[in-house]
Amino acid sequence: VPTQQWVGRGRYAVVDLSAGPTEHGLLDAGEDEEVAAAALPQVVPALQGGDAGRARRSAQPKMEAAYSLAHAQFVAQLATVVLSAATHLVAPDVAVCALPAFERLVVPLIVLRDHRLFDPLAPGHARSIDLPAIQSSVRRLLLPAQTVEILPSLHELHDHPQISVAVARAQQSDSVQVIDDNGHVVTRARSYLDADGLSAHMHESVDWLAS
């Protein structure tokens, strides 16, 4: 995924700290694709200079103090970016998953469908949910002495009208930049479910399944 300040593929991302601030983004990007000064930690002049700058700072205590302050701020801001990338790109589940001390973790897996074309929990077809893979991924978050049990269940969406409304309200679309077959960067609209919005609407629902 190419952007003005970072490129990524899968769960890998490369960030260009010198990409901003800019007032205008890519040619094919939207109006809000500029890089703001607060988007990434800035390599300010006090951090530049290489070996020559290091030599000048060693002879001037004020320059050394300015460098120490700028370096501390830069490292703190960079740590924030790395933490944000880890919780949103590499392992987004850790942002909402706090596992206290326990011996057994029970994870209800609620599958909602609005059709009767196939059973997502039935193995052997192209749209089957890989339950062993989910259990393996959850187990990797646990301590050695802890165990996990996945409890899958299938429900028809039309049997839960309030959840249907919550799903409809949580549906969002976003514009993303992708590379087409000709190698051009184009803007496409992709639909997705807003997890925070869905969770908020589910909390407001009186449906027993949402509770």
- pLDDT tens-digit series, residues 151-176: 999 999 888 888 888 888 888 888 88
The helix-helix angle for 61-85 and 50-59 (nearest 10°) equals 130
The whole-number average pLDDT for the span 56-82 is 86
The whole-number average pLDDT for the span 141-149 is 84
% the chain with pLDDT above 90: 9
Q: Is the pTM of this model over 0.85?
A: no
Length of the chain: 211
CA distances from residue 44 to 61, 70, 73, 83, 135 in whole angstroms, order as listed = 18, 8, 10, 22, 46
The whole-number average pLDDT for the span 50-65 is 83
The helix-helix angle for 195-204 and 161-170 (nearest 10°) equals 150
The β-bridge relationship of strands 171-179 and 185-193 is antiparallel
Task: Assess whether pLDDT exceeds 80 at residue 192.
Answer: yes
C-alpha to C-alpha distance for 15 and 35, rounded to whole angstroms: 12
C-alpha to C-alpha distance for 73 and 78, rounded to whole angstroms: 9
